[in-house]
């Protein structure tokens, strides 16, 4: 692989471990995003030649590393602005110009400007970007919207897939594969033939997910579905202390299994949620790699449909037929393994049964047209009965203290649900969700002047909680979906 984690002293080696385990920074992501002020070899030589009782580690790090700054720091926007005006002004603060190559930073250089989520998230993120792009389109920021896709195509060429984000420590995992959906979204403005520029990269992205060694699982003979994974089985560099502490009581084999499952949960984007916990327990019982997620396989279904479409445009009838067949096979398997008791669930292949965790991942088959009309009716009924709250939709029906569970709501899941319901004619429920979510966004903005990463949809007077870090503002996907819903553009896929 082009980028080797061991080449970066911020994410590997004895200095890195000591900084993280001694909690020199409150947020473990701070050090891995720092940049050495001089040759890393010189810093390591100096560090290793100092006796433990001679070194003030905090001072040593301050002298030798440039820490990152939060992306939304020092934002000075005019008062008395509307939420929409605020978001329009915010794009420039969340924009990052192309990054030149540097051997010392963990940031992977990208050829074109891009939008970051905000706060501690100082880099481009894969699945965030799909929802951010919706807002860029509405703000007439078409050039940077297309730049986002070009940067992802570049990353596929560079590292064979789209990583979690453009950081070296993210390259062993991806995120929910929305690349085909991004291409589809912008094709509405650039035309169908325009999509062919990404055919090679989309195929390469698909091949990454279909690697039988890790992300593809055979449930029965010739019945393959996908799971989330990570090539590494060590603590996450950006959450090293947290992972190390959680695994402290495990033996070595159990630690490796735990670290891989935690990393795989991060690949899902739902880090963390009861979706990934054995028997609905807690983070130490994370079993992500045992799960066949309904959202991931819905995304890969759409990727197969998009590849079939692009191969048809390229007049490659053999590949068109192959991918149409693959998509139909996957659709059948999703409905075989992920559908139970009138709802879509994740499937635990180790126990040969669904997890029975009620989550908004169930709306993906509606968003991508996999569900039948009857199935969509059942899902809509359960969404209205079990998920709808004062501020929109809860993420799961479980209260665990994790950020991807109740009482939190997230912009991308509101959007996927609203559009998925509209695809099947449930416009009244979709509008109710939209109105409640937008009201919450506006109310919180009017109180704080900020757009947040997530919201408490059960008690709308409280901020959202959970997670390994403080509540982040900015915020790319919240901004994008707020604009899309406020404009009420009909951007559904089907």
CB atoms within 10 A of CB 415: 25
| Catalytic residue (one of 271, 295, 309, 346) | 271
| Catalytic residue (one of 84, 146, 205, 453) | 453
The residue with tokens 């030649």 is: 49
| Whole-number Å distance between alpha carbons of 192 and 420 | 23
Token readout for 11 is: 């994410």
Report H helices in 314-344.
317-337
Taking each helix axis from N to C end, the angle separating 57-64 and 40-48, rounded to the nearest 10 degrees, works out to 160
Q: How far is residue 302 from each of residues 183, 307, 319, 324, 421, measured CA to CA in Å? A: 11, 8, 15, 10, 17
| Whole-number Å distance between alpha carbons of 268 and 491 | 24
Q: 120, 469 in Cβ contact below 8 A?
A: yes
| 453 catalytically annotated | yes
Q: How far is residue 361 from each of residues 66, 103, 228, 320, 323, measured CA to CA in Å? A: 40, 39, 14, 28, 24
Q: Looking at the DSSP assignment, which residues form a beta bridge with residue 125?
A: 165
**Backbone dihedral region of 352: left (phi > 0), alpha (psi from -120 to 50 degrees) or beta?**
left
- Burial class (CB within 10 angstroms; exposed 0-12, middle 13-18, buried 19+) of 8: buried
| 242 catalytically annotated | no
Q: What is the 3-state secondary structure (H, E, C) of 138-183?
A: HCCCHHHHHHHHHHHHHHHHHHCCCCCECEHHHCCCCCCCCHHHHH
By residue count, the chain amounts to 494
The catalytic site residues sit at 271, 453
């Amino acid at each position: 692989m082009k980028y080797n984690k061991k080449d970066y002293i911020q994410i590997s080696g004895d200095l890195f471990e000591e900084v993280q385990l001694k909690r020199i920074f409150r947020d473990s992501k701070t050090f891995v995003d720092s940049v050495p002020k001089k040759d890393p070899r010189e810093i390591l030589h100096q560090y290793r030649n100092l006796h433990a009782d001679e070194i003030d580690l905090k001072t040593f790090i301050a002298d030798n590393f440039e820490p990152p700054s939060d992306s939304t720091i020092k934002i000075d926007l005019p008062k008395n602005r509307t939420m929409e005006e605020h978001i329009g002004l915010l794009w420039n603060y969340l924009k990052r110009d192309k990054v030149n190559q540097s051997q010392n930073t963990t940031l992977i250089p990208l050829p074109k400007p891009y939008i970051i989520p905000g706060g501690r998230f100082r880099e481009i993120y894969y699945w965030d970007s799909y929802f951010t792009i919706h807002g860029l389109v509405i703000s007439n920021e078409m050039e940077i919207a297309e730049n986002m896709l070009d940067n992802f195509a570049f990353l596929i060429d560079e590292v064979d897939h789209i990583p979690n984000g453009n950081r070296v420590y993210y390259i062993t995992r991806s995120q929910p594969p929305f690349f085909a959906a991004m291409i589809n979204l912008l094709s509405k403005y650039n035309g169908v033939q325009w999509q062919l520029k990404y055919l090679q990269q989309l195929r390469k992205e698909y091949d990454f997910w279909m690697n039988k060694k890790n992300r593809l699982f055979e449930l029965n003979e010739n019945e393959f579905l996908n799971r989330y994974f990570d090539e590494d089985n060590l603590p996450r560099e950006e959450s090293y202390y947290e992972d190390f502490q959680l695994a402290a009581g495990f033996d070595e084999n159990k630690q490796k299994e735990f670290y891989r499952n935690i990393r795989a949960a991060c690949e899902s984007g739902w880090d963390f949620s009861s979706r990934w916990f054995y028997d609905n327990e807690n983070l130490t019982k994370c079993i992500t790699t045992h799960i066949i997620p309904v959202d991931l396989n819905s995304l890969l279904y759409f990727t197969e449909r998009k590849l079939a479409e692009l191969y048809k445009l390229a007049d490659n009838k053999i590949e068109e037929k192959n991918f149409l067949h693959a998509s139909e096979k996957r659709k059948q398997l999703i409905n075989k393994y992920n559908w139970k008791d009138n709802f879509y669930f994740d499937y635990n292949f180790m126990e040969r049964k669904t997890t029975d965790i009620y989550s908004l991942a169930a709306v993906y088959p509606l968003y991508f047209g996999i569900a039948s009309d009857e199935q969509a009716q059942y899902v809509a009924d359960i969404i209205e009965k079990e998920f709808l709250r004062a501020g929109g939709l809860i993420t799961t029906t479980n209260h665990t203290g994790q950020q991807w569970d109740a009482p939190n709501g997230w912009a991308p899941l509101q959007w996927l649900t609203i559009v998925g319901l509209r695809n099947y004619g449930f416009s009244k429920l979709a509008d109710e969700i939209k109105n409640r979510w937008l009201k919450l966004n506006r109310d919180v903005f009017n109180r704080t002047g900020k757009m947040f990463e997530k919201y408490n949809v059960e008690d709308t007077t409280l901020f959202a909680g959970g997670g390994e870090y403080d509540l982040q503002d900015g915020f790319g996907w919240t901004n994008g979906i707020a604009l899309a819903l406020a404009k009420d553009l009909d951007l559904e896929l089907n």
